[in-house]
Amino acid sequence: MFPNLDLESIAEQINNEVTQENSTEIGRVFLMQFNGNKATVIMENGKPKEATTKEKVQMYTQMLLRTKLDKYKVYKNEDFGMTYFNYMGMRNLPQNFINIEFKRELEEKLKQLNIVDSITNFSANKQGSVLYVEFTINLINGESIEISEVI
């Protein structure tokens, strides 16, 4: 008389739909070379050189690390950028708190990409107004990307 519902499969289907809605797919990305906070597009045969999948994640990460959340109108509704810039001048916050928050936010943003699994080997070291970060991005296909940036 009452229908039999498989609640586990319904919940799994809803979770998959939510995950797909919240994920970001990287489209075409052209390689850039960063010198400080300035970027130059890498050209090949007079055209911008298109990135491989690993290079796309690396470029996305480099742009993410250099972009303050809500600083640019183009990213206003995209949730693109980092909030750690807000903490950079605060002397009363322990460095460990900033590092933990930085890693949490970075991992949360990168996992929105449908190919990132996790971040490992994370380290951040602030010296004056400069932040040195190193970490490994693990992709779902088993590949990994080493990131070492000065921000």
> For domain 28-150, which CATH number applies: 3.20.20.70, 1.10.357.10, 3.10.450.40, 3.90.700.10?
3.10.450.40
Nearest by Cα to 69 from 59, 85, 81: 81
Domain ranges of the chain: 28-150
Q: Is the pLDDT score of 133 beyond 90?
A: yes
Question: In this predicted model, what pLDDT tens digit does every residue of 40-66 receive, in sequence order?
Answer: 889 999 999 998 989 999 989 988 998
Count CB atoms within 10 A of the CB of residue 114.
13
SS3 call for 149:
strand
pTM for this entry: 0.74
